[in-house]
Each structure stands twice: as C-alpha cells, then as structure tokens.
Amino acid sequence: MPTRAKKPKPALTLKDAFETEYARREMERRAREEAERKQQEEDLAKAEALFDAISADAKFLKSHGLAVDRRRYTVSVDHQNFRIAAYFEAGQASVTSADKRFSSPGSATPRKQESAGTVEDALRIMAQFLADEIH
C-alpha cells in the first residue's frame, strides 16, 4: 500500500496575514493621531504665548484703542477700524490684517496676509501691520 505524502502546513495563513496587516494599520493610525495631538498642543502653546506677549502692555493697547482676544488657536487685535489676527495651524501662523470700515458688522475684509514660523515672527508681522494701520 503506497503512503501518501502529507502536504506541508502553510507558513502563513490568510488570517495571520490579515491580523498582521490590521495591527500595522492600527499602529499607524495611533501614531498619526498622536502626532496630530502633539501638533495641536504646540499650536495652542504658541497662540497662548503670542496672546501673553501682546497683552503684556495694557497701557499701550488702551492708548491705541486696541482690544486683544484669543480663541483657541487664533489671537486677534481689534480696533474699531481694523483687525489683525494670527491663526496657528500645523506649526505655522497665518497673520492677516483686515479692514472693518467697509464691511458688514462681525466680518472684516482681509487686505494683507503673511506666514510666520515662530511666535516672534508672528509678533513682528502683527507689529508691522499695526504700524501700517496707525500712521
């Protein structure tokens, strides 16, 4: 009676390959979420630092009719005629200057925009925009 050769068991099954792939994707997803969370923390810290730097001299702000506000990642300097704002996202700040005189209440028409990589750069750009507005 001839003996049958046994088939060798596969080294990897579909289930094994699936579980490996699923675990890899889950680790990548968690890494992306963690990186995003860290970036948001950094952006928030930059917005807080900029707000603190601008708010440090209340007398200066009052003498020029300026009010400072921070909403999460945005720091704005408001005047009755204009708004200068910095919005932090993905490690960068978008700094804008907008005119309030010719727009509907609650909105402002952007006139200038620049990007900044640091809080110090954002503060410098905001000071430039302020100097442009206050002749």
In the chain, where the domains are located: 43-133
- pLDDT at residue 1, as a whole number: 57
User: What does the pLDDT average to over 67-94?
Assistant: 95
- pLDDT at residue 88, as a whole number: 97
pLDDT at residue 104 above 90? no
CA distance 90 to 116: 11
CA distance 135 to 119: 25
- Computed on alpha carbons and rounded to an integer, the radius of gyration of the chain in Å comes to 27
- pLDDT at residue 97, as a whole number: 93
User: What does the pLDDT average to over 60-84?
Assistant: 95
Can you state the percent helix, strand and coil of the chain, rounding each to 5?
Answer: 45, 25, 30
pLDDT at residue 105 above 60? no
pLDDT tens per residue, range 122-132: 999 999 999 99
pTM score, whole prediction: 0.79
- pLDDT band at 107, cuts 50/70/90? low
